[in-house]
Copies of this chain bind each other. A is one copy, B any other.
Amino acid sequence: MNVLIVFAHPERKSFNGGLVDVAIESLQAVGHTVELNDLYQEEFDPVERAGHYRERVDDTYFAPLSEQRAHYERGILTPEVQREISRLEWADLVIFQFPLWWHAQPAILKGWFDRVLVYGGLYSGSRRYDRGHFRGKKAMLSVTTGSPEQAFMPFGRAGNMVEWLWPMHSSLYYVGFDVLPPQVSYGIQGGGIRYEDESRFREQLEQKKTLWAERLPGLFDETPIPFTGWEDWDEDGMLQQTHPMRWRL
């Protein structure tokens, strides 16, 4: 199978970079083809702006979605966005490797969503969620945090990890991906604060790499996270009156 790794850390030698290496090795070892997209290395521009659109539908008013749709249909999106879309079309599984910064992905990866998942091309109307463009493909997040696991329990000091990843999980599901449970490597400081002790960094990296390496070969057999889907909603987009979770509203 084809696996795309989207990597968003400014230091290739970081803990995150180490987790990328072990993913490439482990996936290739069981016969998968792996492509790495290192957003920092490729100097991906995360800012959605008028300058990216060379034949504007309206050059007096910049409406991002209108321009995305028109440029997709005419095949004139910027080369970097076209390349990202080609990679997604090629991949059977997409792994996002990044550190949790301010309760979300780094800006360079947030902008990958803003610019690459183009309106009209990758979603529109009812072509969303379980009817989405990438249905049949899988995606997952591999995340590192500075705080320890206990602090990410509900009401904990670092907040609930399920809540921090929910926006990205939902965005991936929005365009049709089956989203696998995340790989969270807690209590890592190598990407943020420099380790005083190099051997401690190596020791912790080996430990987390081992956990990740053990999981990687079986990813294609895992059960995705369940979401509500098109048939669960009424015309206004609310949960159907008859849905068993309706009592929660």
Contact = CB atoms under 8 A, between A and B. Distances in A.
Interface of A: 10-11, 13-14, 40, 46-50, 57-58, 61-66, 101-108, 110-111, 113-114, 117, 119, 129, 146-148, 150-151, 153-159, 163-164, 166-168, 170-171, 174, 190-194, 228, 232-233, 236-239, 243, 245, 248-249
30 contacts: A10-B48, A10-B50, A10-B64, A47-B108, A58-B194, A63-B191, A102-B117, A102-B167, A103-B166, A103-B170, A104-B167, A106-B111, A107-B111, A108-B111, A129-B157, A150-B238, A151-B237, A153-B238, A154-B249, A155-B239, A155-B245, A155-B248, A155-B249, A157-B237, A157-B238, A158-B237, A159-B170, A163-B166, A163-B167, A164-B167
Nearest to A228: B155
Contacts of A129: 157
Contacts of A238: 150-151, 153, 156-157
A119 B192 contact: yes
A188 to B, nearest CB: 12
Nearest to A245: B155
Contacts of A174: 102
Contacts of A14: 61-62
